Structure 1
Amino acid sequence: MASSLTKDSASTPGSERTFLGHPRGLATLFMTEMWERFSYYGMRALLVLYLVSGGAEAATGSQGGGLAMTAATASAIYAVYVSMVYLMAMPGGWFGDRVWGARKTVTIAGFVIMAGHLSLAVPGQAMFFVGLILVAVGSGLLKANISTMVGHLYDGPDDPRRDGGFTIFYMGINLGAFAAPLVIGTVGEKHNWHLGFALAAVGMALGLAQFLIGTRSLSEKSSIVPNPLSAQERQSILLKVAVAVAVIAGFYGAVVMAGKFTLNWALVPLTLAGLIIPVAVLVRIKLDKSLSNAEQSKMSGYIWFFVAAALFWMIYDQGGSTLSLFADGKTADSLSGFAFPATWFQSLNPLFVMALAPVFAWMWLWLARKNQEPSTIVKFAMALVLVGGSFFVFIVPMGMAGDGTQVSPMWLVSIYMIQTIAELCLSPVGLSVTTKMAPRKYASQMMGVWFLAVTAGDCATGLLSLAGVDLNGTSIIAMQALLASTAGFAIYMYRKKVEALMGDVH
């Protein structure tokens, strides 16, 4: 899974009490993030299965009560939803920096997320989409600010405890993501969808309560608005937002009154926006004439990383849609006599991350001491080849299930493991290289740009679904596998050119 946004900040811990040798506030943020991720990944594990439940493409024997959508529509909604979560991280960071400050923004985000899950717990298509919007907005607000608050706990980027603090924080993310499908997934899939969504709301409520109770242990810097809006800027922004809302409301009001509205009227514009906005942001930074020649060169090199990451997330994030549907309909629900729900497969990635991340950290250091550590661009190439390879593996059980055979769960276990290994080659490295290659003028914004790669990748998947492409078909799986693997080899072949553009960054 994509790591949380981080930002260099300096502050002195506000308490002498410690948590595993770290500022006490880390415990508060650890628990808040763990419960927020519990709510997010629990709901996400149910999302696609709930959308197809009750319809012709639902798994045999699954409960009804869902929205009876096709797999293509469900995959498109899932892709657009995930992309919007990461797209909202940029305005979320802006609110923290210019309007509310990180602490207030996280508090508001917690209430918004909780309201979203409660909306999902209410039966009905209208409340379902209201819930998705609220969770996406709230997650974006929280994602961009809570990691910044972790940075505030330490005495600047050179504090020796800092990296360890973020490692502990990252473990909270994966603990929540691991437990969520086992609890929320089981209740939602096997008993009642809306009860599962309600449990996600309970998870966020626990995280919010933890945050409010432990807020005194956080740095005072988290309450400061670093660059507050002037009165003139505030009025200008409010006017622009009001005009935009009026135009959008007027347009869609006319479509509804004409009786032409369908779900695609909402999904297609969001999908296109998720592709256009990342490109527009990159172009705006690249064309900034105030950047030095060295910064311009690094931005040219960074585009290679961005495109590679978008291709990677296009395949990787189908773990919650394409692979989830395959798990629900075509994979045996028991192993050695032990039965389990399809949502449990969603716990494999965080489990493998927790198990393998220390191994990879040790391996990179060991190779570095031998002067054999792969360069950043080579790690990206490895990630693309691996994630493409996971879909080549996927073709085998797809073929086996063509006659209605229920394939062994170990096929999906293998695919998720390959994808996790690929993620560990790309995600932490991508965060690091983004901070290193960011122009000084855009140091904070570039972390948001990194997450826009997730938006672009997921929106590419969503656009394929909206265009009628069957993402559960063998041919499209093979095409994506070939695309990612070929891109990985191409990046490897051009690695010297990219390294030259990177300048002093290694």
Structure 2
Amino acid sequence: MASSLTKGAAQQGNPANGGKTFFGHPRGLAPLFMTEMWERFSYYGMRALLVLYLIAGGPDAKPGSQGGGLAFPEANAVAIYSVYVAMVYLLAMPGGWIGDRIWGPRKTVAIAGGVIMAGHLVLAMPGQATFFAGLALVAIGSGLLKSNISTMVGHLYDGPQDPRRDGGFTIFYMGVNIGAFAAPLAIGYVGQNVNWHLGFAMAAAGMGIGLAFFLLGSRNLSPVSSTVPSPLAAEERGALLRKGLIWLAVAVVFYGIVLGTGSFTMNWVVLPLTLLGLAIPITVLVRIKRDKELTEPEQTKVSGYIWFFVAAAVFWMIFDQAGSTMSTFAEKKTTDHVFGMGFPSSFFQSVNPLWVMALAPVFATLWLKLARRHREPSTTVKFAMAMVLIGFSFIVFAYAMNLTADGSKASPAWLIGIYMVQTMGELCLSPVGLSLTTKMAPQKYASQMLGVWFLAVTAGDCVTSLLSTAGADLSGPPVVAAEAAIALLAGIAVYTSRKKIEALMGDVH
């Protein structure tokens, strides 16, 4: 899964509460760990149900499956899912900005937790209007929380050189995977087998538990987390409010006309958000690249970074289909029992975090051993490996699809194996990309570039949404094989251009 880890995103403070520790780390790590774990529990639990709920009761639902959903065609469900995930990562940038300029990280996270919990509660109410309102609230809350909680982890340590810092972020990241692993097993089971809305209510309860841990443990956090690093001046607030009201008025008038003429369809929402999710990453990168205040070496590094950004967007385009295309394949075309025991298809959403927990220590040890022998692959080669692995996973997926063309069911081993290959690719790209971003960021954009890294997820998911909206059959072998080919070609391009890219990277290795 795309990491929510953001290292070095803010000025650091001293450890809170002196000698009190949490497994040798500042005691404030405990509430942040629990908050992140339960927030991920709520997010991945809801995500495991999202596409299945959207198609339930409709023409593309599994025969005999639980009804009560929104009965959307699969193509629409995939488009909605993709643009939703894209918005979560897109909103991480303004979420970080709000923490930096308006509320401060601690207050922003507390408000975010309440917004997320409210969103899941709204999702728990039947109805199409309430569903999309709840989805919007969860996306907004996740965007507010994502950057700020990671910044608060950094505040617990005495600067970047604190020897406990990397270990603290590792413990924090384990909370992400524990929550993501447990959520589909609990929420997925209840949502699919008992009641969809009860599953969404469980997600709200999970976020409520996380928020309670955060509020009760906030006394152990660094005082720096309560400060606003760069407060907005009064004139800036006024200007932003005016701009916001103007854009809100434009949207209200536009959609009022669309509704009034009776021409409104779901595409009037999905397509503008999709195009916005593609335009913003491009605009941000162009603005940074054209900034005349950057030094020549910084300009060169930005040029090199664009290669990695595009590769990452292609990677996430495929990887994030775990909750859409692969989810519907698990629901309709994969055997749902092992050794005589049945299970809901949402259980497959727990496979990736399980592989992460199993393989992350292996990869960390492997890179360390290779580094000692001066044989560790460069960042460029690791990215190329990630592209090849994610491409290969969809070649296998296309083959599994062909096996079920006659109506037979695929073995669960196919999806488990595909997730393993994708996780190997994730471990070659996600942590490496985060580290690379902090190293290649121009000084002027040190914090913003971490938001730019998340925009690669936005861009990739928006491409998926655009393809689905345009009518591409993402559940068919030809399109899946084409996506695999694009990833493989991107990997080959990165590898064959590695000397050129590494020259652009300057002193970054």
The Cα offsets for residues 471-492 of structure 1, whole Å up to 9 and x where unpaired, read as 0011000100011011101110
**1:452 maps onto 2:452 in alignment:** no
Alignment partner of 2:477 out of 463, 474, 484: 474
User: How far apart are the structure 1 equivalents of 2:267 and 2:252?
Assistant: 16
What is the identity, as a one-letter code, of the residue corresponding to 2:73? T
- SS of the residue corresponding to residue 67 of structure 2 reads coil
**1:371 maps onto 2:356 in alignment:** no
Partner of 1:211: 214
Offset, 1:13:
1.4
Alignment partner of 1:65 out of 61, 64, 68: 68
Asked if the contact 2:118/2:137 (under 8 Å) is kept, the reply is yes
User: How is 1:400-415 mapped onto 2 (pairs within 5 angstroms)?
Assistant: 400-415=403-418
**1:387 maps onto 2:386 in alignment:** no
Offset, 1:463:
0.1
- SS of the residue corresponding to residue 405 of structure 2 reads helix
- SS of the residue corresponding to residue 238 of structure 1 reads helix
Offset, 1:396:
1.6
User: How is 1:55-134 mapped onto 2 (pairs within 5 angstroms)?
Assistant: 55-134=58-137
What is the identity, as a one-letter code, of the residue corresponding to 1:71? E
Offset, 1:397:
1.4
User: How far apart are the structure 2 equivalents of 1:310 and 1:395?
Assistant: 21
Asked if the contact 2:399/2:477 (under 8 Å) is kept, the reply is no
Structure 2 gap ranges (5+): none
What is the identity, as a one-letter code, of the residue corresponding to 1:111? G
**1:14 maps onto 2:16 in alignment:** yes
User: How far apart are the structure 2 equivalents of 1:48 and 1:360?
Assistant: 32
Partner of 2:250: 247
- Identity over the aligned pairs, expressed in percent? 69
Offset, 1:168:
0.0
Offset, 1:7:
3.7
Partner of 2:312: 309
What is the identity, as a one-letter code, of the residue corresponding to 1:487? A
Asked if the contact 2:48/2:184 (under 8 Å) is kept, the reply is yes
User: How far apart are the structure 2 equivalents of 1:213 and 1:28?
Assistant: 8
Partner of 2:329: 326
Aligned residues: 506
Partner of 1:164: 167
User: How far apart are the structure 1 equivalents of 2:12 and 2:89?
Assistant: 25
**1:29 maps onto 2:32 in alignment:** yes
**1:150 maps onto 2:167 in alignment:** no
Asked if the contact 1:316/1:387 (under 8 Å) is kept, the reply is yes
**1:347 maps onto 2:354 in alignment:** no
User: How far apart are the structure 2 equivalents of 1:212 and 1:420?
Assistant: 34
Alignment partner of 1:186 out of 175, 185, 189: 189
Asked if the contact 1:98/1:225 (under 8 Å) is kept, the reply is yes
Offset, 1:98:
0.1
What is the identity, as a one-letter code, of the residue corresponding to 1:89? A
**1:295 maps onto 2:309 in alignment:** no
Offset, 1:5:
3.9
User: How far apart are the structure 1 equivalents of 2:16 and 2:377?
Assistant: 40
What is the identity, as a one-letter code, of the residue corresponding to 2:505? M
Asked if the contact 1:320/1:346 (under 8 Å) is kept, the reply is yes
User: How far apart are the structure 2 equivalents of 1:498 and 1:141?
Assistant: 34
Asked if the contact 2:88/2:143 (under 8 Å) is kept, the reply is yes
Offset, 1:403:
1.1
Alignment partner of 1:269 out of 268, 272, 280: 272
- SS of the residue corresponding to residue 126 of structure 2 reads coil
Offset, 1:377:
0.6
| Worse-superposed segment, 43-52 or 55-64 | 55-64
Alignment partner of 1:440 out of 443, 446, 452: 443
User: How far apart are the structure 1 equivalents of 2:12 and 2:328?
Assistant: 45
- SS of the residue corresponding to residue 261 of structure 1 reads coil
The Cα offsets for residues 361-383 of structure 1, whole Å up to 9 and x where unpaired, read as 11001000011000001000000
The Cα offsets for residues 354-410 of structure 1, whole Å up to 9 and x where unpaired, read as 111111111001000011000001000000000000000011210111111011000
User: How far apart are the structure 2 equivalents of 1:117 and 1:490?
Assistant: 42
- SS of the residue corresponding to residue 465 of structure 1 reads helix
Asked if the contact 1:5/1:448 (under 8 Å) is kept, the reply is no
User: How far apart are the structure 1 equivalents of 2:482 and 2:384?
Assistant: 18
Superposition TM-score, scaled by structure 1 size: 1.00
Partner of 1:422: 425
**1:2 maps onto 2:2 in alignment:** yes
Asked if the contact 1:7/1:444 (under 8 Å) is kept, the reply is no
User: How far apart are the structure 2 equivalents of 1:490 and 1:7?
Assistant: 29
| Worse-superposed segment, 159-168 or 399-408 | 399-408
The Cα offsets for residues 420-465 of structure 1, whole Å up to 9 and x where unpaired, read as 0000000000000000000000000000000000000000000000
User: How far apart are the structure 1 equivalents of 2:242 and 2:129?
Assistant: 28
Asked if the contact 2:113/2:208 (under 8 Å) is kept, the reply is yes
Structure 1 gap ranges (5+): none
Offset, 1:254:
1.1
The Cα offsets for residues 80-111 of structure 1, whole Å up to 9 and x where unpaired, read as 00000000000000000000000000000000
Offset, 1:6:
1.4
User: How far apart are the structure 2 equivalents of 1:14 and 1:30?
Assistant: 15
What is the identity, as a one-letter code, of the residue corresponding to 1:11? G
User: How far apart are the structure 2 equivalents of 1:92 and 1:5?
Assistant: 14
| Worse-superposed segment, 101-110 or 5-14 | 5-14
Asked if the contact 1:42/1:184 (under 8 Å) is kept, the reply is yes
What is the identity, as a one-letter code, of the residue corresponding to 1:316? F
Asked if the contact 2:86/2:459 (under 8 Å) is kept, the reply is yes
What is the identity, as a one-letter code, of the residue corresponding to 1:503? G
User: How far apart are the structure 2 equivalents of 1:496 and 1:267?
Assistant: 40
